Structure formats: structure tokens, C-alpha cells
């Protein structure tokens, strides 16, 4: 017959201490165990020994089970080996038997004598075989909702003292917390697994995109190279025609040849820029740094440019002596040429100024030579009084093929690749190209590079 309470017995002090010890061990297991079953098993083992239970089982709802009213054994203590299979197949339905009722009613259910309760007749055979006659079941809850129960089985009609009962309540709470933790860990593991899968997929997509980018680069490099060869021949023969080496040309013929030459030269410029940019992106234009003089590099860039238009004054503002910079001289000249030729192109009248100066980034003094050198930059400024660039276009012009005004190609010529290439080269050298500008007032393009070798 099921009883509302067990006869009380006062716990000797040593037992209370052992109960406390068990509660501590279970709490410890809760904090450190990797799997919830470890906590369930420890709880069953320790508590069974303390309250004199012969066996114990933890029943929980199977995750993913379509029937939420069925519970199976997730941990057992001292269950006879011969009945192990029976245990693994055992299912308890919510509301049925003491365990099922503990779940359904979300309360402790104590059965003092199984054989005295005809409602438990189904149990009698197994109880006789296994040798138990009473039980106590406690609900295990998840966020307040019962999701299973822990049941202890006793051989004798045991009496539980108040200490035992509070230990049982403590253990039930601990197991509920364990179920909660297991649930959270499950959620976390599922989320982690999803993240891992997404990562693998992203990684694969990244590699595909990288490969596609590389192939596009290879293709562009090959096509550009193949275009350059016949174009060189076309320009060569055009030159011969223009120079009259194949006989004098009539005016009309000379005008046609000039048009071919202009178009051919523009095309050659585009192909060269495209090839350079592609090689830079493919990492085939490594920097070859050496100690240089920034002023000498500026002069070299100016000297290789065609003379500026007649109404344009070109000024230079250089420090008195050399300005040392550890960089790739060819690549710096390339960037300066691009910036200067743009300044010439977009300034009909006025001035273009090329300036060199050093900038101290960090505090000076008190540092060793190496850190002091690292703290300064060399800056080239190309300032013009030309058409200027609107605020919203100032970042876009560094994109490939990007010109402020699409019709600019026709008006000013150019490919829209110069600034993309210049910035790419500058960044490869550890610096950058930036712009400050106002429409109608002019532009200031800055190439800033570290003065000394980067650490
Ligand atoms: P390109 O000059 O061959 O068109 P760039 O990449 O060098 O290509 O420049 C991109 C665009 O940036 C130019 O078409 C122009 O619209 C703008 N730009 C560059 N330099 C200047 C400048 N100094 N003044 C005004 N606009 C400029």
C-alpha cells in the first residue's frame, strides 16, 4: 500500500554527516562530470548506500522520442546482471506505477509495501524475483516540468528518517539541475556541430572563390600578354609609316596613321596596367626594397613623364638633403608617375606641386635606433588645382576601372586602373595612397610609406 509518509526516525549525527558528504560529492560531480549519466550513477550509488536501498534507477524521457509520455532507464545502480536486458528495454509510462506517478504528479511517491497494493499487481512477479518490496520515487524536472524520475527499491520495509528525506529532495534537485545542464550542453553541442558544418561549407566556398579568382587572374594575365605581342607589331609598323620609312604619306593617310597610333598607344596602356594589376594580385610583383632617397625617386618620376600642358606650372617642394626610405624604388616611381600624370590630366590651368616630407608617428627620444626608425614615415604629396573630386567618389576611384565620370575616358583618356594599381603597390610596400579633394578646388593625393624596414 502506498503511504503518504514514512515513519520518522531521528538521524544519528554520523549519518547526517555522511549525507552531507554524499550531497557534496554529487554537487562536485555535477560541476565536473562530462556526461549527465556520471552524475546520475554517482547519485544512485551514494544515496542507495545511505538510505539502505537495494537498487536504484533514473528514468528520463528519451530525447527525440515521439511519445513524450514514455520514460526509459538512463542509469541504474546494483541492478542484478541477469536482468540487465530487461532494464534496457523497460519503459515507464507517465501516470503508471510509482515512477510514472512521480512524473505525472510532480511529487515524491513512496510505496511502503508493494504487495499490499492491488493496483501494483503487475509488479509483484518482478518484485518477488528481484527481491524488493518497497520504493520511493522522486520527480526530475527541467525548467519546472517533470521529465523523469529517480526511483529507489528496498528489500525490507525500510524506514526513512527526516535526514534521508531531505537528502532525497536535495538529490532530486541536483538531478534536475544535471538534466538542465545536459539539456544546455546538448543545445550547445548541436549549435557547435551546426557551426562546424557551416564552417566547413564556408571554407570550401572560400577555396572555390579563391581558385576562381586565381583562374580569372591567370586568364587575364595570359590574354593581356597575348594581346601585347601583336599590338607591339601594329605600333611598330605605324611608327615606320608615320616616319615615312615606307614612302611619304598623303595628308589623309598621315591623319589615319596618327589615329591608329593614338588608339594603339591607349590600348597598350590599358593592357600594361591590366597586366601589372593582375600580376600584383597574383603576388608576382614582389617588392625588392633597398635604401633610397625619396627626393631622387621624385625627380626620377618627374623626368619620365611627358612635359605638362603649357598652362600648367609644376612645382617641387623638397627638403634640403636626401630623405632616406627603405623601399622598392621602381614601384614608388610607378605610383608617383600615376599620381602626377593624373594631376596633369585633370588640371587644365594652375599648378601641380610635388612635395616630400617626413612624418614622426610616435614619440621620439629614449628609444633605440630601430624603434625610432619605425616611428617615422616618408610622405609624398601630389597637389593640384584641377577639377577636384566629390566626397562620395573619393573612395570609389581606387576601385578597378572606376572613373568619376564614365565619359571621362573619352574626355581625359585613361583606363581607371591607375589608382587601383597605385594603392595596391603602396599597400604591398607597407603604406597607402589616400586623397583629400574638393570639386573645383583641386586634389591632394598622398603616398605614405614607412621610412624603415618593417619588423
Ligand atoms: P584613369 O586616370 O586612368 O582614369 P585612375 O585610376 O588613375 O584612372 O583614376 C580614376 C579616376 O579618379 C579618374 O578617372 C578620375 O575620375 C579620378 N581622378 C584621379 N586623379 C584625379 C585628380 N588628380 N583630379 C581629379 N580626378 C582625379
CA distances for 331 relative to 98, 161, 421, 430, angstroms: 85, 89, 10, 12
Residue 178: per-residue pLDDT: 78
Return the residue whose CA atom lies nearest to atom 4 of ligand 1: 416
Question: What pLDDT, on a 0 to 100 scale, did the predictor assign at position 453?
Answer: 66
- The Cα–Cα gap between 381 and 443 comes to 10
For the purposes of burial, counting CB atoms within 10 Å of the CB of 424, is it exposed (0-12), middle (13-18) or buried (19 or more)? buried
Which residues lie below 8 Å from residue 214, measured CB to CB, with a gap of 6+? 282
Cell numbers placing 203: 571554407
> What confidence category does residue 253 fall into, taking pLDDT thresholds of 50, 70 and 90?
very high
Q: What does the pLDDT read at residue 15? A: 53
The two counts, helices (H) then strands (E), for the chain are 12, 14
The verdict on domain 202-281 having CATH code 1.10.287.130 is yes
The pLDDT value given to residue 30: 73
Which residue's alpha carbon is at the smallest distance from atom 25 of ligand 1?
A: 388
Choose between 53 and 185: higher pLDDT: 53
What is the pLDDT of the chain when averaged over all its residues? 85
Q: Whose C-alpha lies nearest to ligand 1, atom 23?
A: 343
- Rounded-to-10 torsion of CA 384, 386, 390, 395: -40
Can you tell me the distance from the alpha carbon of 158 to that of 7, in angstroms, rounded to the nearest whole number?
9
Residue indicated by cell numbers 581607371: 416
Highest average pLDDT, of 35-44, 109-118, 156-165, 359-368, comes from 109-118
User: What is the C-alpha R_g of the chain?
Assistant: 43
CA distance linking residue 353 with residue 319, whole number of Å: 14
Ligand 1 binding pocket mutation candidate from 418, 421, 435 (most atoms within 8 A of CB): 418
Q: What are the grid coordinates assigned to 114, written together?
A: 508493494
Beta-carbon contacts of 76 under 8 Å, excluding residues fewer than 6 positions away, are 44, 55, 56, 57, 58, 87
Give the C-alpha separation, 133 to 123, whole Å.
10
Cell (9 digits) for 414: 585613361
pLDDT higher at 439 or 274: 439
Predicted local distance difference test score (pLDDT) of residue 9 = 40
Cβ 273 under 6 angstroms from ligand 1: no
pLDDT of res. 445: 98
Q: Is the pLDDT of residue 415 over 90?
A: no
Q: What is the pLDDT of residue 62?
A: 75
Contacts of 455 (CB under 8 A, 6+ apart): 370, 374
Dist CA 74 CA 60 (whole Å): 6
SS3 (DSSP) at 302: helix
The pLDDT value recorded for residue 158 is 59
Q: Give the distance (Å) from ligand 1 centre to CA of residue 443.
A: 10
Model confidence band, residue 252 (pLDDT cutoffs 50, 70, 90): very high
For 426, the grid coordinates are: 603602396
What's the grid cell of residue 8?
520518522
- What's the confidence (pLDDT) of residue 282? 87
Contact between 448 and 387 (Cβ < 8 Å): no
Residue 163 has pLDDT above 80, yes or no: no
Which residue's C-alpha cell is 518484485? Answer: 127
Mean pLDDT across the stretch 124-148? 88
Global confidence as pTM: 0.58
Q: What is the CATH number of domain 290-450?
A: 3.30.565.10
CB atoms within 10 A of CB 277: 24
User: Is the separation of the CB atoms in 174 and 27 below 8 Å?
Assistant: yes
Question: Could you tell me if the CB of 414 is within 6 A of ligand 1?
Answer: yes
Going from N- to C-terminal start, the domains of the chain cover: 12-191, 202-281, 290-450
pLDDT of residue 160: 72
Share of the chain above pLDDT 90, in %: 47
- Which pLDDT score, from 0 to 100, does residue 405 have? 64
pLDDT the model gives residue 425: 96
Between 159 and 344, the more confident residue is 344
Closest CA to 377 of 452, 454, 450, 281: 450
Mutate to test the pocket of ligand 1, among 312, 337, 403, 411 (most ligand atoms within 8 A of CB): 403
Three cell numbers written together for 234 = 601594329
d(CA 91, CA 93): 7
- Estimate to the nearest angstrom the gap between the alpha carbon of 246 and the chain centroid: 65
Residue 207 is predicted with a pLDDT of 94
pLDDT above 70: residue 1: no
Distance CA 196, CA 318 (A): 57
Q: Whose grid coordinates read 591623319?
A: 255
pLDDT tens digit string along 339-357? Answer: 999 999 999 999 999 999 9
Is the CB of residue 149 below 6 angstroms from any atom belonging to ligand 1? no
Same fold, 202-281 and 290-450: no
Fold exhibited by the domain 12-191: Beta-Lactamase (3.30.450)
Amino acid at each position: 500500500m502506498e503511504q503518504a509518509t514514512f515513519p520518522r526516525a531521528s538521524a544519528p549525527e554520523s549519518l547526517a554527516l555522511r549525507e552531507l558528504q554524499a550531497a557534496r560529492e554529487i554537487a562536485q560531480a555535477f560541476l565536473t562530470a562530462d556526461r549527465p549519466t556520471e552524475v546520475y550513477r554517482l547519485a544512485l550509488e551514494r544515496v542507495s548506500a545511505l538510505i539502505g536501498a537495494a537498487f536504484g534507477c533514473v528514468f528520463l524521457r528519451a530525447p527525440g522520442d515521439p511519445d513524450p509520455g514514455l520514460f526509459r532507464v538512463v542509469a541504474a545502480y546494483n541492478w542484478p546482471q541477469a536482468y540487465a536486458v530487461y532494464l534496457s528495454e523497460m519503459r515507464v509510462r507517465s501516470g503508471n506505477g510509482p515512477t510514472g506517478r512521480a512524473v505525472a504528479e510532480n511529487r515524491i511517491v513512496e510505496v511502503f509495501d508493494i504487495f499490499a497494493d492491488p493496483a501494483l499487481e503487475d509488479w509483484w512477479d518482478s518484485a518477488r524475483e528481484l527481491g524488493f518490496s518497497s520504493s520511493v520515487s522522486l520527480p526530475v524536472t527541467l525548467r519546472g516540468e517533470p521529465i523523469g524520475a529517480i526511483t529507489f527499491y528496498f528489500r525490507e520495509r525500510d524506514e526513512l528518517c527526516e535526514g534521508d528525506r531531505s537528502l532525497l529532495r536535495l538529490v532530486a534537485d541536483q538531478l534536475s539541475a544535471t538534466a538542465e545542464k545536459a539539456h544546455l550542453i546538448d543545445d550547445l553541442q548541436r549549435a557547435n556541430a551546426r557551426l562546424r558544418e557551416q564552417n566547413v561549407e564556408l571554407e570550401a566556398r572560400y577555396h572555390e572563390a579563391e581558385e576562381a579568382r586565381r583562374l580569372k587572374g591567370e586568364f587575364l594575365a595570359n590574354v593581356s600578354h597575348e594581346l601585347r605581342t601583336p599590338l607591339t607589331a601594329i605600333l611598330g609598323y605605324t611608327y615606320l609609316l608615320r616616319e615615312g620609312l615606307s614612302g611619304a604619306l598623303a595628308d589623309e593617310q598621315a591623319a589615319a596613321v596618327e589615329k591608329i597610333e593614338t588608339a594603339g598607344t591607349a590600348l597598350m596602356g590599358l593592357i600594361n596596367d591590366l597586366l601589372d594589376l593582375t600580376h600584383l594580385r597574383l603576388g608576382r610583383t614582389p617588392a625588392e626594397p633597398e635604401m633610397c632617397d625619396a627626393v631622387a625617386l621624385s625627380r626620377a618620376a618627374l623626368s619620365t613623364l611627358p612635359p605638362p600642358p603649357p598652362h600648367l606650372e609644376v612645382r617641387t617642394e623638397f627638403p634640403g638633403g636626401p630623405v632616406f626610405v627603405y623601399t622598392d624604388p621602381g614601384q614608388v616611381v610607378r605610383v608617383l608617375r600615376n599620381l602626377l600624370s593624373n594631376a596633369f590630366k585633370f588640371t587644365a590651368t594652375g599648378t601641380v606641386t610635388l612635395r616630400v616630407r617626413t612624418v614622426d608617428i610616435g614619440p621620439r627620444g629614449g628609444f633605440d635606433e630601430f624603434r625610432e626608425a619605425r616611428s617615422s614615415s616618408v610622405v609624398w604629396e601630389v597637389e593640384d588645382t584641377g577639377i577636384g573630386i566629390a566626397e562620395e567618389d573619393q573612395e570609389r576611384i581606387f576601385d578597378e576601372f572606376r572613373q568619376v565620370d564614365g565619359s571621362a575616358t573619352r574626355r581625359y583618356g585613361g583606363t581607371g586602373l591607375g589608382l587601383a594599381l597605385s594603392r595596391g603597390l603602396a599597400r604591398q610596400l607597407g603604406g597607402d595612397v589616400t586623397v583629400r579633394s574638393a570639386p573645383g578646388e583641386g586634389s591632394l593625393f598622398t603616398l605614405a610609406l614607412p621610412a624603415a624596414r618593417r619588423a
